[in-house]
Amino acid sequence: MIVTDDDDLAAVCRSLRNQGRDGMAWLAHQRLGFNYRMSEINAALGVAQIGRLDEILENRRRVAHEYMTRLMDCKYLVLPTLSEKDVMSWFVFVVRLSDLFSGDARDTIMKQLRAEGIGCNNYFPPIHLQPYMKEKFGFRGGEFPVCEYVSQRTLALPFFSQMTKHQVDRVCTTLTQVLERTLTTKSSRF
C-alpha cells in the first residue's frame, strides 16, 4: 500500500499498477507499468473459477471454432493460424483484414460494425509506438513496417465463453456484409 498527500505521485502509482496506463486510454501506455489491479473479490472469484476451468476453456474453444468455421472461406480476412499441436486459451478472437484493405479501412469497418450493434476493437497497437516506448527509447512509426502493417488491419471480434452459435453467425454475417460494402462502395474505396 502506498500513502501519499502528493496528487502527482498518487497518479503515477495508479498508472504503474495498471500497466503504465493513464486514465481511460486503455491501449495507451504512458510508462512501463505492472498489472497489480486484482482485488480480493477477484481473487475469490478466481479460486471458484478454477473448479470450472476445463468447462470455461472448452466453451472458449467452441466459440473460436465457430468463428473459424464460419469465416474460413472469407477472402477478406486472415484468421489465426494453429497447428494440430497448438492449444489456445482464447481470451480474444482477432482477425486481420486481407491485403485488399488499407490501414485506414479498419477504423471505417469498426464504425460500421458498431453502428450495426457489433462490438469490436483494434488489437493490438505496436508496442514500440506506445507513448512510454516512444519517449523512453525514441521509437517512431516506420521502424517496424511489418508490425505496423499488421496492426493497422487487426480487428478483435466479440468473444465470450457463453457466446451462442446464433451470436457468432450474426457477427460473421454482419462483418462479411460490411467488408463487401467497404470494398464495393466507390466513396469508401481504400
User: What is the pTM assigned to this prediction?
Assistant: 0.78
Q: Are residues 69 and 13 in the same domain?
A: no
Query: What per-residue confidence (pLDDT) applies to 37?
Result: 76
pLDDT at 189 over 60: no
d(C-alpha 183, C-alpha 86), whole Å: 34
Split into its structural domains, the chain has a count of 2
What domain range includes position 101?
A: 52-188
* Three cell numbers written together for 135: 519517449
Q: Are residues 21 and 76 in the same domain?
A: no
Q: pLDDT tens digits for 32-81? A: 888 887 789 988 998 999 999 999 999 999 999 999 999 999 999 999 99
Q: How sure is the predictor about 187, in pLDDT bands with cuts at 50, 70 and 90?
A: very low
Q: Are residues 28 and 57 in the same domain?
A: no
pLDDT at 180 over 80: yes
Q: Are residues 162 and 75 in the same domain?
A: yes
Kindly list the distances between the CA atom of residue 119 and the CA atoms of 89, 115, 126, 135, in Å, as whole numbers in the listed order.
Answer: 21, 9, 22, 32
Q: Are residues 137 and 180 in the same domain?
A: yes
Query: What per-residue confidence (pLDDT) applies to 55?
Result: 95
Q: pLDDT tens digits for 126-164? A: 999 999 999 999 999 999 999 999 999 999 999 999 999
